[in-house]
A and B are shown apart, each in its own frame.
Chain A
Amino acid sequence: GAGVSQSPRYKVAKRGQDVALRCDPISGHVSLFWYQQALGQGPEFLTYFQNEAQLDKSGLPSDRFFAERPEGSVSTLKIQRTQQEDSAVYLCASSLALSLGVEAFFGQGTRLTVV
């Protein structure tokens, strides 16, 4: 595809349910980032991959959040036992560079609503 693709676009989960959010980065992009964006706020960093290696997961809010990128391409963000405060838009971005300083392309995001 031409850009970063995220699925599903919208997800409604009952409190306590597990969810999995998928990110297909631009082909060949080495770096992949996950951000959480609450309503009316800027994106907040969750985690960062360089190929299949998760180099920074300092932004994950709790051990209920888990991300993987097993083959260095598609990534999945999993949230276990969802809670209302998990409701947000989850953004994925990818970049050709090994580090920042080169344009990162964002997907449209997955809007998660926990009821």
Chain B
Amino acid sequence: GENVEQHPSTLSVQEGDSAVIKCTYSDSASNYFPWYKQELGKGPQLIIDIRSNVGEKKDQRIAVTLNKTAKHFSLHITETQPEDSAVYFCAASNTNAGKSTFGDGTTLTVKP
């Protein structure tokens, strides 16, 4: 089955700096890669996603890159703000299947 590894497990940055979270996956059949933000006591919320036919996608301060050959994808947050502090999860799935495999999460802390 699919295996997703996520690094780092914790990340602390100063407000205004950039943050990068990296994930690797094992199943070459995976073709959909969402990123979720989870705040304390809440369910995960999709913040950006990318499909395997695209190498990069950007939405305001958030961008995701995908390297299919190396089987890794990354989340980039620029100009971080304190409200970006949360746990971030990457996931990988095959759109022909019903399940996503999640990484173990990255706790991002943005210091004011």
Chain A residues within 8 Å of B, Cβ to Cβ = 4, 31, 33, 35, 40-45, 48, 50, 55-56, 58-59, 91, 93, 99-101, 103-109
Contact = CB atoms under 8 A, between A and B. Distances in A.
B32 to A, nearest CB: 5
B100 A45 contact: yes
B101 interface: yes
Interface of B: 4, 6, 31-32, 34, 36, 41-46, 49, 51, 89, 91, 93-105
A108 to B, nearest CB: 5
Contact of A106 (B45, B51, B98): B45
Contacts of A4: 43
Given A42-B103, A45-B101, A101-B32, A107 B43 contact: yes
Contacts of A104: 34, 46, 100
Given A44-B102, A106-B43, A106-B44, 14 more contacts: A31-B98, A33-B99, A40-B104, A42-B89, A42-B102, A42-B103, A48-B98, A59-B99, A99-B98, A100-B93, A100-B98, A101-B32, A103-B46, A106-B36
